[in-house]
Amino acid sequence: MVSQSHATAAADPFEVSEAFLKRRRLVDLTMRCILFLAASLSILVTAGIVYVLVSEAAHFFAQVSIVDFLTDTQWTPVFQEKHFGIMTLVSGTLMTSAIALIVAVPAGTILSIYLSEFAQPQVREAIKPILELISGVPTVAFGYFALLFVTPLFQTFIPGLSGFNLLVPGIVIGIMILPFIVSVSEDAMRAVPNSLREGAYALGFTRLQTSVRVVIPGAFSGITAAYILGMSRAVGETMVVAIAAGQQAKIAVNPLEGAATITAYIVQISLGDLPHGSIAYLTIFAAGLTLFVITFLFNILAFWLRRKYREVY
Amino acid sequence: MTEQAIVTQEAQARALSDDEIVRKAHRSETRFALIGLTVLIVTMIVLMALIVDFAIDGMARIDRDFLTSFPSRRPGEAGILSAWVGTALVILVTAAMAVPLGVAAGLYLEEYARTNWITDLIEINVSNLAGVPSIIYGLLALGLFVQTFQLGQTIFVAGLTLALLILPIIIVATREAVRSIPLEIREAAYGLGADKWQTVSGYILPAARPGILTGAIVGMSRAIGETAPIITIGALTFIAFLPPSPIQSTFPYVNADWLNSPFTVLPIQMFNWISRPQAGFHVNAAATGLILLAMTLLMNGLAIWLRYKIRKGIR
């Protein structure tokens, strides 16, 4: 504007030339387009993921029937006699995720109630960063910790715990997803308006009664979203199970023994040098598609639940 | 309320005085606070145990030789030179791509986007991408970049993959930072005759910079620690050479050959050593893990401190 008024100072100090405005409008429009393209790139990423998984999995399902894929109870893609029962890997994944949730759901709920309803603001400000630090630890470090610290420790009092097992990775994943569950559910609890709490206090409720009967029901959809997102993370967690859960693909029934999960299998196959297009190469995309579908359903459900509580308050 | 009434009736039946009811309520309050504290302390003990375990196992192994040697078949002579150089270069690529793209997308969603189905779609999409397991990004990179586009298992592909992975983190951080800027700043800019882009580039972006920086640091730290997507690309684990230097003595003084070089990174090297049976390699893994932990915890600590400063500034 300053340089502008110089140019036209002779005529009218407040007049802005047409050319200048035109240029500004052009810059404005160009930037708008660039920013829009950057934002829509995220859709391209999703499209890329879906395209890769579906097209490679289609090659796989041209050779293996989908009924066998879902019902066979063995998974031996690199053996002579090949079986492709994904349920073996799914059972391992579900076992570790279930153990993780058994650890993280009660602990996460208690912690988030404690932080949102009980703790002094200063305490809360001090605790939340520490929880964030846990979520900053690389997953491969948690894997090392599970295999070479927690498993030997547990073996001293759980007889029959194998070196590779599902119990320890499950517990470690539970600790990993804990900060996440706490932050999402605490967020939901704090979104419950204070007037509801004050109403409860006026009726003589204690803080605990207010938490259990007013805040939790009020934040229910958000807390559920936290559990579902935690589950989705546990299902997709890779390095801990790849390091500490073993590589044997079998229906997981005993958490004290090792079994492969979907993610651990993908890592195991990726480490070898498989020719592009071979059936074993295609299995990792079929397994990846299964994983993507499971986590996608969880994520969408959680997104919808979180939006719901945001709309209520 | 009816339950309150029942409680009161029970109290009368058992002839509890008001004092006793209050005391009972106090006791259950205290009990819950204690349970909460216990959970908190246990969580912290686990974090401490993790750090101490790495320090005990790996501290003694870290010396100048460890940082300046290539991997070796003999655990005592092996080092992480190629791994830390690889990590540094990959992160450079990741930052160069993820930060501008993430900030641009965040600005669009917060400042420009109208409420319509496209915006809705992008928003659901970003939130879903944030929850897609990292190994799926690895499969995307394997199927698209390595196999379809034939880009090879290079530093560029790894950096690109990690950039896509941390994009949602940076978008969300940008949006939060932009959202916290008071409306008055925008109104003042418009009042002076600024158009949208002048407002965004001249006022919004500078004001949001600390918040965006926080998100970028958290994203980088996540990328440094990621292992699974890079394994899936098929990155070699035994790399006993360095990529070509990005700087040269002759014109034009920089070259981009390193982008197409094979590589290894710290978490991959660590994973490789964990999977060996010899205890000597486990010590190397612990030492690498300790360095990784120090890097990621420092970066997260920095981000937390920055966020704390921002919040204080706003008050």
- Residue A264: predicted pLDDT: 92
Alpha-carbon distance A276 to nearest alpha carbon in chain B (angstroms):
8
Enumerate the domain spans of chain B.
18-61, 62-314
The reply to whether residue B113 touches residue A38, judged by beta carbons under 8 angstroms, is no
Task: Render each residue's pLDDT in chain B as its tens digit; 315 residues.
Answer: 566 666 666 655 566 677 888 888 888 888 888 998 899 899 999 999 999 999 998 888 888 888 888 888 787 778 888 889 889 999 999 999 999 999 999 999 998 988 888 888 898 899 889 889 999 999 999 989 888 888 888 899 999 999 999 999 999 999 999 998 889 989 999 998 888 899 999 999 999 998 899 999 999 999 999 989 999 887 666 777 777 777 766 667 667 677 878 888 999 999 989 988 888 889 999 999 999 999 999 999 999 888 888 877 765
Nearest-by-CA chain A residue for B285: A144
Residue A13 confidence (pLDDT): 61
pLDDT at B194: 87
Measured between CA atoms, how close is A204 to chain B, in angstroms?
Answer: 8
Least Cα separation, residue A83 to chain B (angstroms): 22
Nearest-by-Cβ selection for A136 from B143, B289, B300: B300
Kindly list the residues from chain B whose CB atom is less than 8 angstroms away from the CB atom of residue A235. 133
pLDDT at residue A217 above 80? yes
Q: How far apart are CA A290 and CA B139, in angstroms?
A: 13
Q: Is B4–A204 a contact, with Cβ atoms under 8 angstroms apart?
A: yes
Is the ipTM here above 0.90? Answer: no
Q: Between helices B266-274 and B81-107, what is the axis angle to 10°? A: 130
Measured between CA atoms, the residue of chain B closest to residue A174 is B43
- Determine, for residues A149 and B49 on separate chains, whether the beta-carbon distance falls below 8 Å: yes
Q: What is the pLDDT of residue B287?
A: 92
With beta carbons less than 8 A apart as the criterion, state whether A292 and B136 touch: yes
Helix (H) or strand (E) holding B41: helix B18-58
Instruction: State which residue of chain B sits closest to A295, comparing Cα positions.
Output: B132
Q: What is the CA angle A263-A269-A270, rounded to 5?
A: 85
pLDDT for the residue A312: 66
Confidence at residue B22, expressed as pLDDT on a 0 to 100 scale: 83
Average pLDDT rounded to a whole number, residues A252-270? 88
Cβ–Cβ of B143/A56 closer than 8 Å?
yes
Contact: B54, A130; criterion CB under 8 Å = no
* Nearest chain A CA: its distance from B241 CA (Å): 20
What residues of A are in contact with residue B83 (Cβ under 8 Å)?
none
Q: What is the pLDDT of residue A8?
A: 45
How far from chain centre, in Å, is Cα B135? 15
B154 by DSSP, 3-state: which? coil
* pLDDT exceeds cutoff 70 at A104: yes
What residues of B are in contact with residue A233 (Cβ under 8 Å)?
131, 133
CA distance B6 to B12: 10
Question: Is the CB of residue B196 less than 8 Å from the CB of residue B233?
Answer: no
Each domain of chain A, given as residue ranges in start order, spans: 2-63, 86-312
CATH of range A86-312; options 1.10.3720.10, 1.10.287.180, 1.10.3210.10, 3.40.50.2000: 1.10.3720.10
pLDDT tens digits, residue range A1-42? 444 445 444 556 667 788 888 888 899 899 999 999 999 899
Residues of A in contact with B145 (CB under 8 A): none
Residue found by looking up tokens 């603001």 in the block: A121
Instruction: Spell out which residues of chain B touch residue A133, defining contact as CB-CB under 8 Å.
Output: 47, 297, 300-301, 304
Are B132 and A110 in contact (CB < 8 Å)? Answer: no
Give the nearest partner residue to B136 out of A49, A144, A303, using CB atoms: A49
User: Could you report the per-residue pLDDT of A167-193, keeping only the tens digit for each?
Assistant: 999 999 999 999 999 988 998 898 899
Residue of B88, B82, B85 lying closest to B241 (CA atoms):
B82
Share of chain A above pLDDT 90, in %: 48
- Looking at chain A, the whole-number percentage of residues with pLDDT higher than 70 is 94
pLDDT given for residue A114 in this prediction: 92
Task: Pick the closest to residue A103 from A212, A190, A230 (CA basis).
Answer: A230
Residues from chain A that touch B282, judged by Cβ atoms under 8 A, are 148
Query: So what's the pLDDT on residue B25?
Result: 83
Residue A75, pLDDT > 80, answer yes
Closest chain A residue by Cα to residue B130: A299
Residue of B nearest to A113 (CA): B36
Give the residue-averaged pLDDT of A106-128: 88
For domain B62-314, is the CATH number 1.10.3720.10?
yes
Q: Which residues of B touch A225 (CB under 8 A)?
A: none
With cut-offs at 50, 70 and 90, classify the pLDDT of residue A292: very high
The candidate with the shortest Cα–Cα distance to B90, out of B163, B155, B138, is B155
What pLDDT sits at residue A131? 85
